[in-house]
């Protein structure tokens, strides 16, 4: 979870932060809500899905602003990652071929899943049975293969 401006990171953020501050705050609020959401009637692993998903979205937002729209400076981009607004490891994966849409890092860890392979959501849709609904256990992903 990103440490949002703790006492250690008092140094003012680089220029351009004010442009995205509101959006980042919204993400933070959503994250807080997700963390404090009621557990009632939900499976334990499902509780974590929104957290993974918000992490993904926030990282994608930053990634998109820096790489696709060139709308923020390198300095700000680095600062955002350093301060936990984006998941640097996840973004690093997106830059690799075949991982452009990767949902979360858990889904490419082979050990945690049952079959000692990557998550079902990484399987290309073509290789699945037609109409097969998937929803991975770790983050609720419904398929994040690049070719999909």
Positions that interact with another protein (CB under 8 A): 19-20, 23, 26, 30, 33-34, 37, 42, 50, 53-54, 56-57, 60-61, 64-65, 68-71, 94, 100-101, 103, 121, 125, 131, 133, 140-145, 148
Judged by CB under 5 A, does residue 121 bind Zn ion?
yes
* Smallest distance, another protein to C-beta of residue 28, A: 12
Which of Zn ion, another protein, none sits in contact with 90, Cβ below 5 to 8 A by type?
A: none
- Rounded CA separation 78/65 (Å): 12
Nearer to Zn ion, 6 or 147 (CB): 147
Nearest to 86 by CA among 69, 67, 108: 67
**By the 8 A CB rule, do 56 and 104 touch?**
yes
3-state class of 10 per DSSP?
Answer: coil
- Rounded CA separation 40/47 (Å): 10
Nearer to Zn ion, 14 or 61 (CB): 61
- Rounded CA separation 96/83 (Å): 23
CB atoms within 10 A of CB 3: 12
Nearer to another protein, 7 or 43 (CB): 43
Binding site for Zn ion (CB under 5 A): 103-104, 107, 121, 139, 141, 144
């Amino acid at each position: 979870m990103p440490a949002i401006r703790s006492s250690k990171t008092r140094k003012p953020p680089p220029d351009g932060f004010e442009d995205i501050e509101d959006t980042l705050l919204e993400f933070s609020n959503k994250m807080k809500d997700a963390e404090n959401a009621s557990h009632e009637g939900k499976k334990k692993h499902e509780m974590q899905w929104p957290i993974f998903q918000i992490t993904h979205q926030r990282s994608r937002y930053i990634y998109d602003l820096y790489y696709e729209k060139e709308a923020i400076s390198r300095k700000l981009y680095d600062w955002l990652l350093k301060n936990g607004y984006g998941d640097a490891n996840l973004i690093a994966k997106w830059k690799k071929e075949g991982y452009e849409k990767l949902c979360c890092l858990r889904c490419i860890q082979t050990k945690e899943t049952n079959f000692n392979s990557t998550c079902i959501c990484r399987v290309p849709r073509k290789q699945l049975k037609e109409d097969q609904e998937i929803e991975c256990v770790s983050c609720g992903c419904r398929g994040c293969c690049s070719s999909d």
